[in-house]
Amino acid sequence: MYQYAVKDANALVSQFTDDDFGSGSGVNVAGHAVRLDAWLARFLQVQNLFFFQNQRLPSDPASAFFVPLPQGANMTFRYQGQVLFVF
């Protein structure tokens, strides 16, 4: 599975959106997510998720616009894995 997503700064309440994408900041990110699944048995699945995220906008104190990521933040790479038992 491939996903591209954008979470604009101050546009969404991060608690009500996808909590996997944007972890560490919640909002003000754009990035890609790739998921690879592997079935080890008929009842056992391993999911591998890779996230690549960039900040979108820097903070601007003059206009009272504040975002959680500092200016010049590097791209973040994150891995999330989980094992699923299917009944």
Q: Which residue segment(s) compose the domain that 22 sits in?
A: 2-85
What pLDDT does residue 14 have? Answer: 61
Determine the residue type at 57: L
User: Is the model's pLDDT at 78 over the cut of 80?
Assistant: yes
User: Is the model's pLDDT at 86 over the cut of 70?
Assistant: yes
> For 20-52, b where at least 16 C-beta lie within 10 A, e where not — what string?
ebbeebbbbbbbebeeeeeeeeeeeeeeebebe
Average pLDDT over residues 28-41: 91
Q: How many domains does the chain have?
A: 1
What pLDDT does residue 8 have? Answer: 76
Q: Model confidence over 40-70: pLDDT tens digits? A: 999 999 999 999 988 877 767 777 666 766 6
